[in-house]
Amino acid sequence: MTQEKLFTPFTIKNFTLKNRIGVAPMTRMSAAADSIPRQDVFDFLIRRAKKGASIVYTEAIVTDYESAQGYPGQARILTQPQIDAWKPVVKAIQKEGALAIMQMFHCGRMAWPEVNPANRSIAPSPITPKQDNPMTGVPYPVPEAMSLFDIEHVIAGFVETAKGAIEAGFDGIEIHGAHGYLINQFLSPYSNQRSDEYGGSVENRYRFAHEVIQAVHQVIPDDRLLVVRISNWGVADMEVSLFDTKEEYQELIKLFSKEPIDAISVSTYEYQQKTFGSNKNMAQLTREATDLPVMICGGIYDRVSAEDALQDADIVLSGKSLLLNSNWVEDVWADKALNRYKSEEADIAYTAEPLP
Ligand SMILES: Cc1cc2nc3c(=O)[nH]c(=O)nc-3n(C[C@H](O)[C@H](O)[C@H](O)COP(=O)(O)O)c2cc1C
């Protein structure tokens, strides 16, 4: 083992984490029409805090009632009952000594319009992913290119959701800029072919993210965290790199670093994978371009991989291992031989079955 960082504290702004392990954001699709997750899904999050994770992310919370939702049964934090439902969950996570961070997203062209009350699909440009929607088996609808009014309106949804999360007591807010959802769609030339000030150059494609971050920052008290998640892949057309070159990716990271954010969370399929034809992985490329704390996720499943990933990052996030093994932090601490879970095994996340 190269170093022993995983179970050491890390300070991020005014918070000191007891270790470097966080629960990655994971959508569970458990909410009924009230957009409030099932109690067992809340309990699952609290249990992860009790069992040693130092950060617990929520699932991706949908930012409006119009076009933001990408999957059935997603949650919102926009109404008083929704806020009130999260309050005891956040408190319980904090009581266990972990940070509670709300991730919020707008899915843009990945919308399944039927699950959005306004039956709309909007995106930077009227271009669909090439692959069909795996959940419906039919092509994604051609999205409407967002007008300037739409842009302002969508930003307002991020702001309202952030306000809801602050009211619910969350320690931090994450803006989901990864996985081919709306913010990522603006950043990437693959989905953004606008000719106005929101498209074209890297700076123009970055403008929407900038406006979201700035607007959200205004409503977040100084003692809370603001994080951005980024990836160069999307859940549709997975094989496509959403940025063309390492230079383009690093230019974006430099732009993010000028914002009032406290960390960048880098999402990969496989943390070690070298990217953009370079001999560096995504965490290394991110680290080179920013002084901000870096979180890394993707294929971290045991102590060796976690310590290894920390060579180029400050915090590791786990999705599947923490989803499927409630004792994962303890097992990692004990340096147990652990298996890497397959994506299909994680589908249990979407069933009504309570997870341990
Ligand atoms: C069931 C499930 C739901 C997920 N939902 C989200 C989500 O809401 N937001 C997000 O940013 N990533 C989501 N992801 C991706 C994970 O956060 C993580 O990046 C991915 O699982 C890779 O990490 P792993 O190899 O540790 O599983 C989800 C993953 C799984 C397995």
- Give the tokens for residue 340: 């890497």
| pLDDT string in tens for the chain (356-residue length) | 456 899 999 999 999 999 999 999 999 999 999 999 999 999 999 999 999 999 999 999 999 999 999 999 999 999 999 999 999 999 999 999 999 999 999 999 999 888 998 889 999 999 999 999 988 999 999 999 999 999 999 999 999 999 999 999 999 999 999 999 999 999 999 999 999 999 999 999 999 999 999 999 999 999 999 999 999 999 999 999 999 999 999 999 999 999 999 999 999 999 999 999 999 999 999 999 999 999 999 999 999 999 999 999 999 999 999 999 999 999 999 999 999 999 999 999 999 999 99
Cβ of 235: how many Cβ atoms within 10 Å? 17
Residue 114 is predicted with a pLDDT of 87
Task: Give the separation between CA 339 and CA 50, rounded to whole angstroms.
Answer: 22
C-beta of residue 126 within 8 angstroms of C-beta of residue 192: no
SS3 7: coil
Catalytic sites, residue numbers: 181
CA 162 to chain centre: 14
Buried b (16+ CB within 10 A) or exposed e, 205-229: bbbbbebbbeebbebbeeebbbbbb
**What pLDDT, on the 0 to 100 scale, is given for residue 113?**
84
Q: Tell me which residue of 49, 55, 47 sits closest to 20, measured CA to CA.
A: 55
Mutating to test ligand 1, I would choose from 27, 63, 173, 229 the residue with most ligand atoms within 8 A of its C-beta, which is 27
pLDDT at 2 (0 to 100): 54
- Strand 10-12 with 99-105, pairing: unpaired
C-alpha 252/C-alpha 184 separation (Å) is 11
How much is the pLDDT for 98? 98
Specify burial of residue 85 (Cβ count, 10 A radius: 0-12, 13-18, 19+): buried
Q: Which amino acid is at 5?
A: K
Q: pTM for the whole thing?
A: 0.98
Atom of ligand 1 nearest to the CA of 270: 25
CA 247–ligand 1 middle distance (angstroms):
26
Q: By alpha-carbon position, which residue is closest to atom 12 of ligand 1?
A: 25
Amino acid making up residue 200: G
Q: Report the C-alpha gap between 51 and 60 in whole angstroms.
A: 22
Cα–Cα distance, 11 to 306 (Å, whole number):
18
Distance of CA 24 from the midpoint of ligand 1 (Å): 6
Q: Alpha-carbon distance 37 to 16, whole Å?
A: 29
CA of 69 to the centre of ligand 1 (A): 16
Pocket probe mutation, ligand 1, options 320, 323, 351, max atoms within 8 Å of Cβ? 320
Query: Ligand 1: distance of its center to the CA of 337 in Å?
Result: 22
φ, ψ for residue 270 (rounded to 5)? Answer: -155, 110
Nearest CA to ligand 1 atom 28: 26
The closest residue, in CA terms, to atom 21 on ligand 1 is 319
* Best mutation site among 21, 26, 105 for ligand 1 pocket (most ligand atoms within 8 Å of CB): 26
Ligand 1 atom closest to the Cα of residue 343 is 31
Going by CA atoms, what residue is nearest to atom 4 of ligand 1?
Answer: 26
How big is the CA angle at 324 (ends 169 and 296), to the nearest 5 degrees? 65
Q: What is the 263 CA–ligand 1 centroid distance (Å)?
A: 18
- ∠ CA(315), CA(255), CA(229), 5° rounding? 35
Nearest CA to ligand 1 atom 6: 26
Index of the ligand 1 atom closest to the CA of residue 176: 11
Q: Are 301 and 290 in contact (CB under 8 A)?
A: no
Give the residue from 250, 207, 256 showing the smallest Cα distance to 228.
Answer: 256
Number of CB atoms found within 10 A of residue 330's CB: 12
Q: How many other CB atoms sit within 10 Å of the CB of residue 33?
A: 7
HSE, CB side, 13 Å, CA atoms: give it for residue 20. Answer: 27
Is residue 319 classed exposed, middle or buried when 0-12, 13-18 and 19+ CB atoms within 10 A define those classes?
Answer: buried
Q: How far is the CA of 229 from the centre of ligand 1 (A)?
A: 12
Report residues whose beta carbon is within 6 angstroms of any ligand 1 atom.
Answer: 24-27, 59-60, 103, 176, 178-179, 229, 267, 297-300, 318-321, 323, 346, 349
Q: What backbone phi and psi angles, to 5 degrees, belong to 14?
A: -95, 15
255, 267, 165: which is closest to 210 by C-alpha? Answer: 255
**Residue 332: its H or E element:** helix 328-333
Of all atoms in ligand 1, which is nearest to the CA of residue 301?
Answer: 26
Q: Which atom of ligand 1 is nearest to the CA of 60?
A: 8
Which of these, 220, 198, 221, 200, lies nearest to 208 by C-alpha position? 198
Neighbour tally for 348: CB within 10 Å:
11
